[in-house]
Amino acid sequence: MTSRVESAAATRRALIEAAAELLDEGGPDAVTLRAVGARAGVSRGAPYGHFPDKEHLLAAVATKSWEAIGEQLDTLVADEHRPPAERLEQALRGLMAVGRGHPHAYGLMFTAPTGEHPDAVAAVSRTHDRFLQLVTDVVGDAERARPIGALLMTSVHGIIAMENNGHLTVEKWNTTGDGLIRALIDRIA
């Protein structure tokens, strides 16, 4: 662990993890380069040895979140015992669980300007591909699955976003995020 490249890689990982933790605990405002450095055990300017600026660090955090969801979907794709429809529903509910458990991280995933960050774009693309595979397993045809998957993905994202921002109250809409997922599956997939 005392090798220079190993130590640098460990520091880089620690910075990303520290930023993710601070984001989870205190929201975007808590993610200060000084606080990130402190939690990672380095000082305030250390991130600039690994990232051009703060935005790239946050993009790395978002990439990690996308990859985590991708792996989650991967295990669902591989689980061939269960019926495809059940796996797809599990995927949608898994997305909601992430959005609820880590609302700030979830927001970051859809906030980072993706165009400037190829790694993030690739991670998003891979995750979306796995999601489309799950949809394909349900509807049969891969080409037909694409717009259907888009409708499912955008709708679930909208449900999570409005739930996290307090715009989805039971008093107003007489339903919950879970209920909307159910309705979505019944009407679309």
Applying CB under 7 A, the residues found at the interface with DNA are 2-5, 7-8, 11, 31-35, 37, 42-46, 48-50, 52-55
Pairwise CA distance, residues 24 & 27, whole Å:
6
Neighbours of 149 (CB within 10 A): 24
Q: Which does 167 bind (CB under 5 to 8 A by kind): DNA, its own copies, none?
A: its own copies
Phi and psi torsions of 51, nearest 5°: -135, 140
Q: How far is the CB of 31 from DNA (least distance, A)?
A: 6
Q: How far is the CB of 44 from its own copies (least distance, A)?
A: 21
Whether the CB-CB separation of 71 and 39 falls below 8 Å is answered with no
Amino acid at 20: A
Residue-level length of the chain: 189
Q: How far is the CB of 16 from its own copies (least distance, A)?
A: 21
Q: Which does 168 bind (CB under 5 to 8 A by kind): its own copies, DNA, none?
A: its own copies
Under the phi-then-psi rule, with left for phi > 0, alpha for psi from -120 to 50, and beta for the rest, what region is 176? beta
Contact positions vs its own copies (CB under 8 A): 110-111, 113-115, 124-125, 128, 143, 146-147, 149-151, 153-159, 161-162, 165-168, 172-175, 179-180, 183-184, 187-188
